[in-house]
Each structure stands twice: as C-alpha cells, then as structure tokens.
Amino acid sequence: MKLRTLLFGLAAMGICATAAAQASIVIKFSHVVAADTPKGKASEYFKKRAEELTHGKVRVEVYPNSTLYKDKEELEALQLGVVQMLAPSLAKFGPLGVKEFEVFDLPYIFDDYADLHRVTQGPVGASILKRLESKGIVGLAYWDNGFKSFSANTPIRTPADLRGKKLRIQSSKVLEEEIRAVGGLPQVMAFSEVYQGLKTGVVDGTENPHSNTYTQKMHEVQKYLAVTNHGYLGYAVIANKRFWDGLPADVRSQLEQAMRESTTYANRIAKEENDRALEAIRKSGKVQIYVPNKDERMAFKKAMLPVHQKMEARIGSDLIRSIYRETGFDPSRL
C-alpha cells in the first residue's frame, strides 16, 4: 500500500514536472492600471484562457500597475522583446509614430459604446491596427475602458472652469489640443505619477474613466468631478511581432481564440466596471460629483469640436471622415 502511494506520488510529481517543462513559452504581459479594472481583469482572463487552451504550453505572467514598466518604457520593452504583450491606451501610440490611433482621442467622436464598436470591430479599426506592423508590433484586439470625466480641486460645470488649470493628459497631441480648446494647460505625465502629481499640486486636475480614477485613488486627492463623458479611453492589445510570428501555428491559433474570448469579456464588463467605480467614488464622499446639464454639456462640445478640424493634418482627414461615416457623426449638427 505504502509503495503504491509512493509510486503514485512520484508519478504525479512526474506529471507536474512534465507540465512545467512543457510551459516553454512564457508571455510577459505588462500594463499600468490596477488589477481591478477592465484592462486588469481582461488580462487575467486572457492568462486563464491562454493557459487552458494551450494545455499549459504557454504561461502568461501579468504585471499590473506599472510594476514592471511605466507608460513609455513598456512600449520600448515590447519592441526589444523583453515583454511579449501589452495593452497601452490608444492615446499612447503617437510617440511611436503611429498617429492614426489619436483619432480615438478626438472629443465627442463617439456618442456611446455602440458607435465605438462600429469602428473598433470593423474594417477601420483593423486598418489602424495594421499600421503597427512596420514598428515590429502585431495589433491583436481593441479592449474597452470607457468615457472620460474631468476632475479638479475647483468646481467644474462649464469649460470656463478649466481655464488656466494644469491638467494631466496622456501623451497624445489630440489631447493637448483638447485641453487648449478649453483654455487649460496640458501636462503630459506617466500614469503611475498622476496620483502624486495631483496630491502635491504639480497638476490641478485630470481626465479619466471612473475605473482609473477610483482604483488609483485619485478621488481622494481631487475635490470635484464632472461627469462630462467628453472623450473615450480604450486599449490596443499588442504583441512583439517576431515573438508572435515565431509561435508554433497551433499555439498561435489557440492564443488567438483566447484573445477573442477575452475581448468579448473585456467589452462586456467595461461599462459596468466604470458605473460601479463612479458609485464607489460617490459613496466615498471624498469628491463632489456634478453631472453637467444640457446647456453645460453643449458648451463643452462647442468648445472642443474645433479640435477635429485642427487635427486633420496630423491624423488624416480621410481617416476622420471614415469614422464619421461608420458612426453617423456630423460635426456640423450639434
């Protein structure tokens, strides 16, 4: 009996050792937000499905919250092949020389998630992802986060309330123009530094989907938040091209399946995660939440829409128009 137990134990150890040895492909997946966000949860979901579908041939190591790399560094690390996968926000591809992604930063270009999905899940979205290939990167999918709100230490009801304020933005020229359009002073800053920047007054305010505001505790260092929904923040899930193309074909197609499933998951939870975060911010009692009325919303829109035309030369008027066609957006009709 004892011998049988021992043999069984040895056999089990052998199986474990074989499984571990088989996990010869390791994917380091780095990102900058908390684990408890749409992107954090979707990357964990991808890890689970990738490991299941490849029967342990692939191990995915997820590094959240800028623990491995910050914004700018993570793209460099991916190109060098030090990490294999990332999901940077669409606003962060400009410095890489792929300015087309900044089209997603145009204020008010999407009314809601349905509008957005016509682009991210259609041919226009696919053509933008394709542009990454010349940079040694494969674009795998778009994952949603949500629509941004402004926060600051002084009340925000109309665009005039942002005049002269130093506002942290992501590294996007479109966002720079958006902030200038309301008379603010744009300050590019890595995501990992925003909490401290707000706390110490290096910047007066910022813009975020609620899940980011809440999980980074920004609401604890901001007094006012206006639910403006003036622009979108979402992600492109990307991989180092040499790594991705070099995968055995069966493994690659299993990972593609895992990516399809995680994309469905990410885009299903994003809105509810952001609604939940807004509720949690409200409950914290640390920040006054204001929902602008119709006239105030219109004032924001009027102030920011000229950014579309201003950015045509940078992003391409054909691309902007192709998005208008997909969503039915008409800038002349406010």
Residues in the chain: 334
Q: Are 197 and 203 in contact (CB under 8 A)?
A: yes
Nearer to ligand LMR, 43 or 254 (CB): 43
Nearer to ligand LMR, 212 or 262 (CB): 212
Nearest distance from residue 100's CB to ligand LMR, in Å?
Answer: 17
Residue written as token pair 């226009």: 124
Nearest distance from residue 89's CB to ligand LMR, in Å?
Answer: 3
12 Cβ contact partners less than 8 Å away, ≥ 6 residues apart: none
Nearer to ligand LMR, 212 or 229 (CB): 212
Nearer to ligand LMR, 124 or 270 (CB): 270
| Beta strand extents in 153-230 (DSSP E only) | 166-169, 185-188, 205-208, 224-226
| Beta strand extents in the chain (DSSP E only) | 25-30, 58-63, 85-86, 137-147, 149-152, 166-169, 185-188, 205-208, 224-226, 232-240, 288-290
Nearest distance from residue 191's CB to ligand LMR, in Å?
Answer: 3
Count the Cβ atoms, other than its own, within 10 Å of residue 317. Answer: 12
Question: Given the rule CB under 6 A, which residues bind ligand LMR?
Answer: 32-33, 89, 145, 170, 191, 208, 212, 233
Nearer to ligand LMR, 89 or 158 (CB): 89
Nearest distance from residue 9's CB to ligand LMR, in Å?
Answer: 45
Nearest distance from residue 219's CB to ligand LMR, in Å?
Answer: 14
Count the Cβ atoms, other than its own, within 10 Å of residue 19. Answer: 12
DSSP 15-35: HHHHHHHH--EEEEEE-SS-S
Nearest distance from residue 170's CB to ligand LMR, in Å?
Answer: 4
Strand partners, 60: 27
Token output for 258: 């895992």
Nearer to ligand LMR, 145 or 187 (CB): 145
Query: Alpha carbon of 38 to those of 53, 108, 249, 285, 295: distances in Å?
Result: 22, 21, 29, 23, 31
Nearer to ligand LMR, 169 or 182 (CB): 169
Nearer to ligand LMR, 27 or 33 (CB): 33
Nearest distance from residue 165's CB to ligand LMR, in Å?
Answer: 17
Nearest distance from residue 56's CB to ligand LMR, in Å?
Answer: 29
Strand partners, 232: 147
In one-letter notation, the amino acid at residue 60 is V
